[in-house]
Amino acid sequence: DTEVTQTPKHLVMGMTNKKSLKCEQHMGHRAMYWYKQKAKKPPELMFVYSYEKLSINESVPSRFSPECPNSSLLNLHLHALQPEDSALYLCASSQVYRGAKNIQYFGAGTRLSVL
């Protein structure tokens, strides 16, 4: 099973709302990632967690708050977003490994619209 499950599939929120995106995997991977993808653009890395600890933050604004409560779950908490934050948010997971085969498996994404 190479499935990464993201919920919800679609989300519409106002600029004053607080919402959360959820990502789950059961492949035993100890690295998990959040990417942001604007329309017709490539995915851009936001955060990386390794062994449930934040290891990379790509200078993401504080209105995005990641959380990794356990090795299978990754959340992205959203607060006071702007319309330009509307995008497809992708979650990925991989083994933590210093070698070549560090394949990232992606979920289908959450399509977020900020009104």
Partner 1 sequence: DAKTTQPPSMDCAEGRAANLPCNHSTISGNEYVYWYRQIHSQGPQYIIHGLKNNETNEMASLIITEDRKSSTLILPHATLRDTAVYYCIVRVVSSGNTGKLIFGQGTTLQVKP
Contact 95, 105 (CB under 8 A): no
Number of residues in contact with partner 1 under rule CB under 8 A:
29
Residue 27, interface with partner 1 (CB under 8 A)? no
Cβ proximity to partner 1: between 3 and 18 the closer is: 3
Of the candidates 71, 15, 63, the residue with the CA atom closest to the CA atom of residue 36: 63
Of the candidates 74, 63, 72, the residue with the CA atom closest to the CA atom of residue 25: 72
Distances in Å between the alpha carbon of 18 and those of 15, 22, 76, 77, 92?
A: 8, 14, 11, 7, 23
Cβ proximity to partner 1: between 15 and 108 the closer is: 108
Q: What are phi and psi of 84, to 5 degrees?
A: -70, -5
Cβ proximity to partner 1: between 31 and 81 the closer is: 31
Letters for 47-86 (x = contact with partner 1 by CB under 8 A, - = none) are -x-x----xx------------------------------
> Which residues would be at the binding site for partner 1 (CB under 8 A)?
4, 31, 33, 41-45, 48, 50, 55-56, 90, 92, 94, 96-109
